Amino acid sequence: MSDPDRLDHYVSTDPFAPQDDQVLTPAQERLYAASQWTMMWWRFRRHRLAVVSGIVLLLMYAGILVAEFLAPYDLHSRNVDFIHAPPQQVRLFHEGRFVGPFVYGLDYRLDMTNLKREYTPDPDKVQPIRFFCRGDRYRMWGLIPGDLHLICAADGGTLFLLGTDRLGRDMLSRLIHGARVSLTVGLLGIAISFLLGITLGGISGYFGGWVDNLIQRIIEIMRSLPELPLWMALSAAVPINWDPVAVYFCITVILGLLDWPGLARAVRSKLLALKEEDYCAAAEMMGATPARVIGHHLLPNFMSHLIASLTLSIPTMILGETALSFLGLGLRPPVTSWGVLLSEAQNIEAVVLYPWLMTPVFAVIVTVLAFNFLGDGLRDAADPYHQR
C-alpha cells in the first residue's frame, strides 16, 4: 500500500539518450552540408521580386537570341502607306462572334486642314493574326537565312501592335531588334569595368604603398567627375564614318571605362582586410604568384558581393547608352537601340501627336527595374551566413 501523503515516483519509460539534442534533423543536416552557393540560392529564392525579375530578364535575353523570329516585321521593312500609324488593338470577338485574335484594318485619310494623317480602324476589315508564319525574309544574326516569324499580319493586312514611326516601320519589331543592342551594351560594358576594377583594385589593395596611393587618387578624381558629360565628350570623339559595329564597341568601352572606380574600391577594401589572413601568407610562402593569390585565394571570398554590385550597375549603363543615343552622340541609325528609337520622340510634337513613339521607354524602365530588383536580391543573398 502506498502512503497517501507521498507523491508517486515518476519514471520515464523513454530510452535514455543524452546526445539527443546533438542529433541533426534532416532539415538541419541539409543546411549544414549545403555549400555556400546553395545557401545563397536558398536565401535568394526567398526574395520573390528578385526571382520574378530574374525570370523576366532571362526571358528578355533569350528573346534577343531569336529577335528576328519574334518580331513580326524585319528591322528595315517600310510600309509607305502607313506612316505614323497608331497601334492596332488586338481583338477576339467580331460582332459578338469569336474569331480568335485579329485586328481591324486601318483606313487612311489625309486631313486637308492640318495635313495630319488620320487612321481609323475599319470594322469591315477583319485581319486575323497568323502564328508561326512566313513573313519578311531575314538572316538570323546576319548568318542563317529564314522567313519564319512567331506572329505576322494577315495576307495583305497590317499588324502594328505598337504603331509605326515616321518611315512606316513597325515599332514593335524595331523594339525587339533594338533590345539586342540595348541589353548587350550593359553586359559588355560591365565586363570591361569588371576587368579594370578587379585588376586595379587588386593591385591597389594587395601591394599597397605608392601604387595604392596613386590608384586611390585616380579613383577619387574619376568619382568627382560628372559621368554623362565625360561620356558625351568621349563618344563625340568616335568618328562618324566608322563601321556601326566598331562604334558599338567603342560605346561599350566608353561606358565601361568610367564605371570601374566604385568596384575597384570595393575590391581594395576587402583585399586589405583579407591579405593579412594566415592562408594567404601560407600560399605566398609556397611560392604562389600575386596573381594566383588574388585570383585563387582572395577573390572567391567576395565574388558574390562583386556579382551583386555588378548587377546593380548594369542599369546605369543601359540608361547611359539610351541617353547618349538619344542625344545623337552614341549609336546612330541604321544601328537600332532603344535610345536610337527614343531619339525620334525627341520633341513635344511627338509626345502630343504620336505618343506610341515613346513605347521603348517602357522597355527601358522594365529592364532597369528588373536589374535593380535582381541586384537587391543578390546583395541580400550574397552573405548567407549573415542572420537577419
Partner 1 sequence: MYVYLMRRLFTMLVSLLAISGLIFLIIQLPPGDFVTAYVTELESQGEMVSPEKIAFLRQQYGLDKSPLEQYADWIVGILQGDFGYSFEYNLPVTEVVGDRVLLSIVVNAATILFIYAVSFPLGVYAATHQYTLSDYGLSFLGFLGLATPNFLLALVLLYLANRWFGTSIGGLMDPQYLNRPWSVDKVLSVLEHLWVPVVVIGTAGTAGMIRRLRANLLDELNQAYVVTAKAKGMAPRRLLVKYPLRMALNPFIADIGNLLPQVVSGAVIVSAVMSLPTTGPVLLSALQSQDVYLAGSFLLLLAVLTVVGMFVSDLLLAALDPRIRLVSGGRR
Consecutive H or E run containing 317: helix 299-327
150 is a contact residue toward partner 1 (CB under 8 A): no
Write down the least CB distance from residue 9 to partner 1, Å.
46
Report the DSSP beta bridge partners of residue 106.
Answer: 121
- List 196, 232, 253, 303, residue binding partner 1 (CB under 8 A): 232
Alpha-carbon separation of residue 255 from 144, 219, 358 (angstroms) = 31, 16, 24
DSSP letter for each residue of 253-305: HHHHHTTHHHHHHHHHHHHHHHTTSHHHHHHHHTT--HHHIIIIIIHHHHHHH
Q: Are 175 and 62 in contact (CB under 8 A)?
A: no
Among 112, 245, 285, 352, binds partner 1 (CB under 8 A): 352
Q: Does 236 participate in binding partner 1 (rule CB under 8 A)?
A: yes
Asked if 356 is part of the footprint of partner 1 (rule: CB under 8 A), the reply reads no
**Interaction of residue 46 with partner 1, rule CB under 8 A:** no
Going by C-alpha positions, the residue among 324, 327, 312 that lies closest to residue 259 is 312
Q: Which helix (H) or strand (E) holds 117?
A: strand 116-128
CB 339 within 8 A of CB 321: yes
Number of shown-chain residues binding partner 1 (CB under 8 A):
40
Q: Is 368 a binder of partner 1 (CB under 8 A)?
A: yes
Taking CB under 8 A as the binding criterion, the range among 19-27, 82-90, 181-189, 364-372 that sits at the site for partner 1 is 364-372
Report 108-127 residues binding partner 1 (CB under 8 A).
none
Q: For residues 71 and 357, which CB has a smaller minimum distance to partner 1 in the complex?
A: 357
Residues β-bridged to residue 130: 152
Of 159, 164, 186, 188, which is closest to residue 175 (Cα–Cα)? 164
Q: Cα separation of 8 and 3, whole Å?
A: 9
Interface region with partner 1, contact rule CB under 8 A, candidates 92-100, 109-117, 195-203, 219-227: 219-227
Q: Which stretch binds partner 1 (CB under 8 A): 25-33, 189-197, 287-295, 348-356?
A: 348-356
Could you tell me the smallest distance in angstroms from the CB atom of residue 364 to partner 1? 6
For partner 1, the closer of residues 304 and 316 by Cβ is: 316
The answer to whether 138 and 191 have CB atoms below 8 angstroms apart is no
Counting contacts by CB under 8 A, is residue 345 touching partner 1? Answer: yes
Q: Does 330 bind partner 1 (CB under 8 A)?
A: no
- Minimum CB separation of residue 251 from partner 1 in Å reads 14
Contact status: 342 vs partner 1 (CB under 8 A): yes
Q: At its nearest, how many Å lie between partner 1 and the CB of residue 86? A: 18
Angle, CA of 244, 351 and 151, to the nearest 5° = 60
Whole-number Å distance between alpha carbons of 345 and 180: 20
Cell of 197: 576594377
Question: Where in 283-322 is the site for partner 1 (CB under 8 A)?
Answer: 315, 319, 322
Point out which span in 1-9, 16-24, 190-198, 224-232 binds partner 1 (CB under 8 A): 224-232
Q: Which is nearer to partner 1, 92 or 225 (CB)?
A: 225
CB of 351 to partner 1, least distance (A): 5
> Shortest Cβ distance from residue 379 to partner 1 (Å)?
12
Minimum separation from the CB atom of position 327 to partner 1 (A): 6
Q: Which is nearer to partner 1, 285 or 348 (CB)?
A: 348
Q: Give the span between the Cα atoms of 350 and 342, in whole angstroms.
A: 10
Q: Which long-range contacts (CB under 8 A, 24 or more apart) does 349-358 make?
A: 353/84, 353/116, 354/84, 354/86, 354/163, 356/86, 356/87, 356/162, 356/163, 356/171, 357/163, 357/165, 357/171
Instruction: Give me the least distance between CB of 220 and partner 1, in Å please.
Output: 7
Which one, of 168, 1, 4, lies nearest residue 77 by Cα? 168
Please report, as ranges, the residues that interact with partner 1 according to CB under 8 A.
217, 220-221, 223-230, 232-234, 236-237, 239, 315, 319, 322-323, 326-329, 342, 345-348, 351-352, 358, 361, 364-365, 368-369, 372-373
